[in-house]
Amino acid sequence: MKVSGFSHITLQVRDLQASLEFYQGILGMNVRHRGRIDAYLEWGSAWICLLERTVTKEPLGEYAGMDHVAFYIAEDDFNEAVGILQKHHVEIVRGPVQRGTGWSVNFLDPDRIQLELHTSTLDERMQVWR
């Protein structure tokens, strides 16, 4: 199996409009499609689907499920992005902090899904991750 990069992730959200206000309005993602219960957004070469679910599944256990979704951001754009998060009172749960050869900031969306902006590539991270 030869995976060539990040394709997409689908996030279940409680309120599609509130999530769009966050992902499009604050993070600046481009909406490519808006349906009745879903939206597809693009951010550079990454894309996500937001899927509104009013009934959520029962948790599978303490460690099951997604931990966080990380997006690459150029180091030159990192501080501006952190400033945007702070300006909009987005809850930052870690950082900004230097991790490996890059900088990271972890924050929560309206459904408390943890997202990360990170400035290094996988190759750069693996050079120091021993």
- The answer to whether 80 is a known catalytic residue is no
Indicate the burial class of 123 (C-beta count within 10 angstroms; 0-12, 13-18, 19 or more). Answer: exposed
| The one catalytic residue among 21, 75, 116, 124 | 116
> Closest Cα to residue 117, out of 106, 129, 102?
106
> How crowded is residue 81: how many other Cβ atoms within 10 Å of its Cβ?
19
Among all chains, which residue has been given the structure tokens 């070469």?
45
What amino acid positions are annotated as catalytic residues? 116
